[in-house]
Amino acid sequence: MQEKIIVLVEDNPNDEALTLRALKKNNIANDIVVARDGVEALDFVFGRGAHAKRDMDQIISVVLLDLKLPKVDGLEVLKTLRENKDTRLLPVVVLTSSKEEQDMIQSYSLGANSYIRKPVDFAQFVDSVRQLGLYWLVLNESPPKQG
Amino acid sequence: MTPTVGAQSLKQVKVNENLKKNMQHVEQSQSSLVSSFRFVSVVASAVVILIGILVLLGWTFDIERLKSGLPGLVAMNPITAVMFILGCVSLELIGLNESDPWIRRIGKVCAFIVALVGLLKLGGYLLGWDLPIDQWLFQEKLGAALPIRNRIAPNTAINFFLLGLALIFLDVETRRGHRPAQFLTLMAAVLSLLAGMGYAYGVQSFYGVASFIPMSLITALNFIVLCTGILCTRPDRGLMTVITSHGAGGMMVRRLFPAVIAIPLLLGWARLMGQWTGLYSTEFGTSLLVGFTIVIFGVLVWNSANVLNREEDDRKQAEMALRKSEEKYRTLFDSIDVGVCTIEMLFDGNGKPVDYRFLEVNPSFEKQTGIQNARGRRMREIAPLHEEHWFEIYGKIALTGEPARFENQAAQLHRWYDVYAFRIGEPQKRQVAIHFKDITERKQAEEEMRKLNTQLEAANKELEAFSYSVSHDLRAPLRHVDGFSQILLEDYAEKLDDEGQRYLHQVRDASQRMAQLIDDLLNLSRITRAELRREAVDLSGIVENVAELLKKEQQDRTVEFVIQKGVRTEGDAHLVRVLLDNLLGNAWKYTGKQPQARIEFGRTMQDGKTAYFVRDNGAGFDMTYAHKLFGAFQRLHSVSEFPGTGIGLATVQRIIHKHGGQVWAEGVVDQGATFYFTL
């Protein structure tokens, strides 16, 4: 069975640690790949640059995308993903602490599948991640890979 | 306006109206007067021709009556009759037809014949020839009744000569406007009059000169009619202008002249009649004549004077009305706040408007433009750098007559003007009237405002960006603090004692609070920045909705809601929602300790204005601290009693003030609180 990867795009190491812990606490066993900026994220998804050698047979089940990223912004990443026919259908969940309506509107307009606000309360966050995982990894049917 | 002033101005209006009517009347009657005189001329020549024809008929058929009028009098010579006919023809041709030169020439030829005959006959008498012109017609009959042959009398000859000349020179006018023809005609008329009077008074020498056949009575009368005809054919020239003038003089002349001629004749005749019939002696007769003359002329003069006086009065009144009106408008013109001027547009060879000259300016003009002594000067010489568009606009108004209203700048004068301009007077005069006001200050204020607005917008945008990053960046560390504290609690629980764990809980709580504070502050600033959009809002509906949500969130609580139905008003839907969220949320929170919680919403009247209220029977508050209620982060209870950041009411107040309304509260400790607001 092909492994399903979760790509977490997050520049803040603290946020990264907390998110990973939340995922672990919820027994989400998948491989989690962390990209620390937009460029790294795109490189990995398309298998180029620093991640040229990645196994393209690996299916990415979902991308957890933060918006505020250095180099290439979260929305830019989203846009690029949606423009490429290979990744047009890739599930992207925007995971951000921004409460700005504009960000939400932009994200959805550019084709994000979901928009989650990171709560300050960690317990709440863990619960949110649990639900996230349950939904996107178990319940949701990933789109077929277009050949 | 007091009634007296109103009545006065009404009277003035009446006088003005009369003035206008009179002037129209004058113009009309001037021409109708002229045409009636001309008509008289036509009639006169018709009469003369008729009589001439009748006389000829008389000679042809031997009818004495037709030849001499009254029996026993001398008959009109047939040639005289012919001359009369010719004279009238000439009068018709020349007098009544002013355009065709050929007709005039024929007329002049006829007149020439008449004059010639007269001259020859006269010459004959004076120099002793005997030109038998007057014997040409009916020769055999001429000597029938009288001992000597019927001939043209000398005075008849003179008259024909005079009238012939008058007809030839009918339209000759000296530089001073005199017409010699009129004088000639008058002379002829006087001679005829004397002859006629001679017949009336039996004065032989008047109508017959020495041993010659006297001017026949009909001839004399005919001459008078003909003279009248000639004089009346040019009623608006030379001497006649006095008679046909529409002023007081003309009126007097037309009234008096007939009397002046007729009455002495009548009186003279009456006096003689009386004497002849032996009614009274010469002395008595003369005194009677004189007496009557004095009385009648006295009356006539008095009457004329009276009429003249009234005319004068009317005229004076009209003048005064005119002057008053003139004064009124001058005062208006002088005192008006707006600059008013009239200009004359100047165009170049191609019809392009290039300049204008000031004709009239009012005192405000100087104040509004800073230009002194503008009258008579051209704009180009006053302000050489005056913009092209001014000349174009005014030129267009002068040519098309369309008024224009616009605002524009006069750079050289350093001012902005609000202008209304329109054409006045005759179109070809190219005059434009301009009403304008200096609006430089207003324009400057507008400019200021625009600048301030742009600054404000820029500031707002900056604030927007700032708030965004604040919300985002401030929250991240909070998240970490909370997160790692939790991890500590979970993973290192055994290593920490109760105290330690409690501290960590505190840390978590604190970060939660901070997050809440950030959110609240952000909301507050967002509300202040947002634009108000007024629409119809259903307050009752919103309250019901919020109540439902509150109940759903905390299903273990039972709260009684009393909501007045159908409360509607105008306001920003979103902000009103936030407002009610806060007020109802507060009510919900502060009735948390009240087992029989009751929250009311409704509408009421306060000081004649509609106010809305949210009432609860919860914790209430001390009225002493009422003034602190709406301050940001101000709380009247501790966090342990009731949670909250203290920003809710500050938000409420901001929203209400944005709507231009007011908010106030009444409360009693432990009994409840009521919050009122207007929108």
Please tell me the distance from the alpha carbon of residue A86 to that of residue B224, in angstroms, as a whole number: 129
The arithmetic mean of pLDDT across residues B651-658, rounded, is 88
Give the H/E segment covering residue B504.
Answer: helix B498-529
Closest CB to A99 among B471, B483, B511: B471
Residue at A132 is within a domain: yes
Residue at B7 is within a domain: no
CB B421 within 8 Å of CB B433: yes
pLDDT beyond 70 at B211: no
Please tell me whether residues B430 and B454 are part of one structural domain: no
What does the pLDDT read at residue B303? 85
Smallest CA–CA distance, residue A76 to chain B, in Å, is 18
Backbone angles phi, psi at B429, to 5 degrees: -75, -20
Domain boundary residue, one of B381, B403, B438? B438
What does the pLDDT read at residue B208? 55
Helix, strand, or coil (residue B458): helix
List of chain B residues whose C-beta atoms are within 8 Å of the C-beta of residue A106: none
Cα–Cα distance list, B214 to A101, B192, B210 (Å)? 131, 11, 9
Domain that holds residue B365: 336-438
DSSP secondary structure string, B375-439?
TT-BHHHH-TT--HHHHHHHHHHHHH---EEEEEEEGGGTEEEEEEEEEES-GGG-EEEEEEEE-
> If we measure between CA atoms, which residue out of B238, B241, B260, B259 comes closest to residue B250?
B241
User: Is the ipTM value over 0.85, yes or no?
Assistant: no
| DSSP secondary structure code for residue A143 in this structure | P
The end-to-end CA distance of chain B, in Å, is 44
What does the pLDDT read at residue B527? 77
Smallest CA–CA distance, residue B525 to chain A, in Å, is 13
Chain A interface, best mutation among B475, B479, B513, by max A CB count within 10 A: B479
pLDDT beyond 80 at B362: yes
| B139 pLDDT tier (thresholds 50, 70, 90) | low
| DSSP secondary structure code for residue A141 in this structure | P
Please tell me the distance from the alpha carbon of residue B299 to that of residue B297, in angstroms, as a whole number: 5
Smallest CA–CA distance, residue A49 to chain B, in Å, is 30
Residue at B205 is within a domain: yes
Q: What is the pLDDT of residues B189-208, one digit of tens each?
A: 888 888 877 776 666 665 55
Residue at B9 is within a domain: no
The arithmetic mean of pLDDT across residues B158-181, rounded, is 83
CA atoms within 13 A on the CB side of B23: 7
Please tell me the distance from the alpha carbon of residue B291 to that of residue B309, in angstroms, as a whole number: 27
Residue at B257 is within a domain: no
Residue at A88 is within a domain: yes
List of chain B residues whose C-beta atoms are within 8 Å of the C-beta of residue A118: 479
The verdict on A16 touching B (C-beta cutoff 8 Å) is no
Write the CATH number for A88: 3.40.50.2300
Do A120 and B522 lie within an 8 Å CB cutoff?
no
The arithmetic mean of pLDDT across residues B633-654, rounded, is 80
Residue at A94 is within a domain: yes
Sign of CA dihedral B548, B550, B554, B556: negative
Let me know the angle formed at the C-alpha of B456 by B453 and B458, rounded to the nearest 5 degrees.
Answer: 110
For residue B204, the one-letter residue type is: Q
The verdict on A30 touching B (C-beta cutoff 8 Å) is no
> If we measure between CA atoms, which residue out of B591, B599, B589 comes closest to residue B644?
B589
Q: What is the pLDDT of residues B496-533, one digit of tens each?
A: 888 888 888 888 888 888 888 888 877 777 777 777 78
| B2 pLDDT tier (thresholds 50, 70, 90) | very low
| DSSP secondary structure code for residue B530 in this structure | S
| A147 pLDDT tier (thresholds 50, 70, 90) | very low
Domain boundary residue, one of B246, B278, B309? B246
Residue at B450 is within a domain: yes
| A107 pLDDT tier (thresholds 50, 70, 90) | very high
List the single residue in B with minimal CA-CA distance to A121: B482
Q: Which of B21-25, B60-64, B462-466 has the lowest mean pLDDT?
A: B21-25
What does the pLDDT read at residue A92? 93
Please tell me whether residues B563 and B669 are part of one structural domain: yes
Domain boundary residue, one of B410, B438, B466? B438
> If we measure between CA atoms, which residue out of B16, B162, B170, B35 comes closest to residue B94?
B170
Do B476 and A99 lie within an 8 Å CB cutoff?
no
pLDDT beyond 70 at B69: no
pLDDT beyond 60 at B7: no
Residue at B360 is within a domain: yes
pLDDT beyond 70 at B140: no
Please tell me whether residues B413 and B486 are part of one structural domain: no
Token output for B142: 């001429």
Please tell me the distance from the alpha carbon of residue B33 to that of residue B565, in angstroms, as a whole number: 89
Do B515 and A68 lie within an 8 Å CB cutoff?
no
| A1 pLDDT tier (thresholds 50, 70, 90) | very low
More confident residue, B95 or B341: B341
Please tell me whether residues B190 and B206 are part of one structural domain: yes
Please tell me the distance from the alpha carbon of residue B164 to that of residue B107, in angstroms, as a whole number: 10
Residue at A63 is within a domain: yes
Do A120 and B486 lie within an 8 Å CB cutoff?
no
Residue at A80 is within a domain: yes
Please tell me the distance from the alpha carbon of residue B481 to that of residue B510, in angstroms, as a whole number: 10
Residue at A144 is within a domain: no
Backbone angles phi, psi at B621, to 5 degrees: -155, 165
The arithmetic mean of pLDDT across residues B58-69, rounded, is 72
Do A122 and B482 lie within an 8 Å CB cutoff?
yes
Token output for A115: 């928009």
Domain that holds residue A107: 4-138
Question: Residue B1 burial (CB < 10 Å; 0-12/13-18/19+)?
Answer: exposed
Please tell me the distance from the alpha carbon of residue B243 to that of residue B155, in angstroms, as a whole number: 28
Please tell me whether residues B399 and B482 are part of one structural domain: no
What percentage of chain A exceeds 90 in pLDDT? 24
Please tell me whether residues B546 and B476 are part of one structural domain: no
Please tell me whether residues B125 and B183 are part of one structural domain: yes
The arithmetic mean of pLDDT across residues B142-168, rounded, is 74
CB A108 within 8 Å of CB A72: no
Please tell me whether residues B353 and B421 are part of one structural domain: yes
* pTM of the model as a whole: 0.44
Chain B interface, best mutation among A15, A96, A120, by max B CB count within 10 A: A120
Do B483 and A99 lie within an 8 Å CB cutoff?
no
Token output for B436: 């304008």
Do B471 and A100 lie within an 8 Å CB cutoff?
yes
For residue A46, the one-letter residue type is: F
What does the pLDDT read at residue B613? 92
List of chain A residues whose C-beta atoms are within 8 Å of the C-beta of residue B485: 122
Residue at A143 is within a domain: no
List of chain A residues whose C-beta atoms are within 8 Å of the C-beta of residue B510: none
Cα–Cα distance list, B75 to B121, B150, B223, B392, B521 (Å)? 18, 8, 15, 83, 134
> Which residue's structure tokens are 């006095």?
B242
Please tell me the distance from the alpha carbon of residue A128 to that of residue A64, in angstroms, as a whole number: 13
Domain count, chain A: 1
Residue at A71 is within a domain: yes
Let me know the angle formed at the C-alpha of B596 by B593 and B597, rounded to the nearest 5 degrees.
Answer: 65
List the single residue in B with minimal CA-CA distance to A12: B476
What does the pLDDT read at residue B1? 45
Q: What is the pLDDT of residues A74-101, one digit of tens each?
A: 899 999 999 998 888 899 999 888 777 8
Write the CATH number for B345: 3.30.450.20
Closest CB to B478 among A21, A68, A120: A120
Residue at B362 is within a domain: yes
Please tell me whether residues B430 and B451 are part of one structural domain: no
For residue B288, the one-letter residue type is: L
Q: How many residue contacts between A and B have a Cβ separation below 8 Å? A: 56
Beta-carbon contacts of B31 under 8 Å, excluding residues fewer than 6 positions away, are none
β A4-9/A59-65 pair status: parallel
More confident residue, B361 or B211: B361
Q: Which of B84-93, B155-164, B244-253, B645-654 has the lowest mean pLDDT?
A: B244-253
The arithmetic mean of pLDDT across residues B338-346, rounded, is 90
Mutual angle of helices B440-491 and B498-529, in 10-degree steps = 160
Please tell me the distance from the alpha carbon of residue B548 to that of residue B561, in angstroms, as a whole number: 10
Torsion on CA atoms B633, B635, B639, B641, rounded to nearest 10? -160
Please tell me whether residues B101 and B143 are part of one structural domain: yes
Mean pLDDT, chain A, integer: 86
SS3 content of chain A, % helix, strand, coil (to 5): 45, 20, 40
Do A120 and B512 lie within an 8 Å CB cutoff?
yes
For residue B334, the one-letter residue type is: D
Please tell me whether residues B450 and B434 are part of one structural domain: no
Give the H/E segment covering residue B3.
Answer: helix B3-61
**β-pair partners for B676:** B613, B664
CB B86 within 8 Å of CB B113: yes
pLDDT beyond 70 at B287: yes
Domain count, chain B: 4
The arithmetic mean of pLDDT across residues B35-42, rounded, is 83
> If we measure between CA atoms, which residue out of B567, B566, B573 comes closest to residue B534?
B573
Let me know the angle formed at the C-alpha of B389 by B388 and B395, rounded to the nearest 5 degrees.
Answer: 95
> Which residue's structure tokens are 């009444």?
B666
Give the H/E segment covering residue B614.
Answer: strand B609-616
Please tell me whether residues B114 and B192 are part of one structural domain: yes
Please tell me the distance from the alpha carbon of residue B74 to that of residue B84, in angstroms, as a whole number: 17
Question: Residue B245 burial (CB < 10 Å; 0-12/13-18/19+)?
Answer: middle
Mean pLDDT, chain B, integer: 82
Give the H/E segment covering residue B612.
Answer: strand B609-616
**β-pair partners for A115:** A94
Residue at B278 is within a domain: no
Smallest CA–CA distance, residue B471 to chain A, in Å, is 7
**β-pair partners for B601:** B563, B614
